[in-house]
Structure formats: structure tokens, C-alpha cells
Amino acid sequence: MSEEPRTSAPLVEVRGLHKAFDEHEVLRGVDLTARVGTATALIGPSGSGKTTVLRSLNVLETPDAGTVRIADAEVDFGASVPKVQRRREVAALRARSGMVFQSHHLFPHKTVLGNLLEGPVQVQGHDPDEATAEARSLLEQVGLRGVEDSYPAQLSGGQQQRVGIARALALHPQVLLLDEPTSSLDPELVGEVLAVVRDLAAQGWTLVIVTHEIRFAREVADQVLFLDGGVIAEQGGAEVLTDPTHERTRQFLSRVL
């Protein structure tokens, strides 16, 4: 039997994350725990550090200090370790998450299938036939049948973003990281992408999502973290979005809802 999400094992654990860009301290001690099978929404004002937290989880940004653990892979960014060891630790950590970007970052000169096979076959060395079968099934899962041979430019923004999600899943991540997956889309295309994310949450994927879609967050999030000025100012269940305790959260929600 599956465990209750709120009491399932911690999969992602972040402690004391600090990051500065030049003199600008963007993260000032962020702690985060995401449990197996839960959806965590990171919300907060623009510039509060949400994307930097997410990118730190798969080391697209290198934190100045703090630890990030995903499953059995952990990096202590404050520790001084030999370069070779650090490279190995970072590779292990990266392998445990998949990233979905604001705009899909697909290879424009590769077909949809080519985009989905790049990671599993070229990078991870999996069997091409098996990877192809899996890619087709992932495309079906995101509601895209029959687009295998299309090029990204032939698809709508919503379809491209769904390919981006399938591509992240093709790497067999333990947690899917989504950075405002609908922010670059025309309003009429937002729904189809949110529907896919909703499905993934329902299937028990562990998700960490940076989002401005507060209503959506209210619907799917097991946990909500409100980031303000590089710290977690409030956290809790979806009630953070309906009945916030802190004045800053209340002000933010009244502006965006």
C-alpha cells in the first residue's frame, strides 16, 4: 500500500542553502524537504529566489553553501573537496532529477523522438529500441500521439512544453523540477500543460514546481513554500494559499489572485 504523501520518506532535502550573484545575496539560508510522491509549490514575488532554489537542486546554479540531497546523492557545497570528487557528487545528484524549463529548450534540429532519445541513448547509453518504445509511451502519457517525427517548430508552444516534460521523464528522474512551466505560453495553451502536471502528481510523481499559477498550486500542491527575499517566509500545506499566517504572504496572494 502506498504511504500517505505527507508522511512518506523525504526524497529531497536542502539545508542552509546560500547563493550570491556578485554582492547580491539571493538565497540566505533556504531549507526544504520534499517527500516521496508529493508536489511542492515554490511561490513568491519575482526575484525572491525561487528559480535559483530550483536550479540549485540540479546544480544549474552552484550554491555557495548548504547541502542538497536527493535520494542517495548528496552534495555539501560548503565543504572543500577535491575537484574530481565534487564532479562525481554533482553528476550523481543531477542524475536524480529532471528539469522542465520555462521555455522548453528542445533541440530545434532534432525531431521530437530525437529530442527524447538524446539523454537516454546518447548520454546514458540505453538500448535505442527500448528507449524508442519508452519515448513513444511517454509521448502518449503527455497526450502527444503521432508527433514523433515532427520538429519542435512545427508544434504549438503547449505541445513543445509537453515534449519538454516527456524528455525530462525519459531520464528516469526521481523528482521532476518544473520552473514556471506555463509562463512562456499563450493563455489558451496553459491548461493543457497544467493538465499533464496534474496527471503526474496524481500518478505519484515527486514534483517541485515554481509557479505563478496560484489556483493550480492550490489544487495540486501537498506543500507550499512562500519565498521572500531569499528565505522561506512561510510553509505548510495548501492552506498557505487560502489562509496564510504571515502578512507578507497575504499581501503577495492578494496581488496575484
Residues that bind ligand ADP (CB under 6 A): 21, 26, 44, 46-52
Question: Which of 92/231 has CB closer to ligand ADP?
Answer: 231
Question: Which of 49/120 has CB closer to ligand ADP?
Answer: 49
Long-range CB contact pairs, 75-81, < 8 A, 24+: 77/17, 78/16
Separation CA 249–CA 157 (nearest Å): 31
Question: Which of 180/222 has CB closer to ligand ADP?
Answer: 180
**133 Cβ contact list (under 8 Å, min separation 6):** none
Closest CA to 27 of 4, 1, 9, 51: 51
Question: Which of 19/126 has CB closer to ligand ADP?
Answer: 19
Separation CA 48–CA 242 (nearest Å): 21
Question: Which of 166/209 has CB closer to ligand ADP?
Answer: 209
CB atoms within 10 A of CB 145: 9
Residue 20, beta-bridge partner list: 25
Closest CA to 118 of 135, 104, 101, 102: 135
Shortest Å distance, C-beta 78 to ligand ADP: 20
Question: Which of 51/97 has CB closer to ligand ADP?
Answer: 51
Shortest Å distance, C-beta 52 to ligand ADP: 3
Shortest Å distance, C-beta 27 to ligand ADP: 8
Separation CA 104–CA 138 (nearest Å): 16
Separation CA 122–CA 124 (nearest Å): 6
**109 Cβ contact list (under 8 Å, min separation 6):** 151
Question: Which of 56/115 has CB closer to ligand ADP?
Answer: 56
Separation CA 116–CA 51 (nearest Å): 24
Shortest Å distance, C-beta 224 to ligand ADP: 14
C-alpha cell at 14: 536542502
Shortest Å distance, C-beta 207 to ligand ADP: 17
Shortest Å distance, C-beta 44 to ligand ADP: 6
Separation CA 156–CA 154 (nearest Å): 7
Shortest Å distance, C-beta 210 to ligand ADP: 6
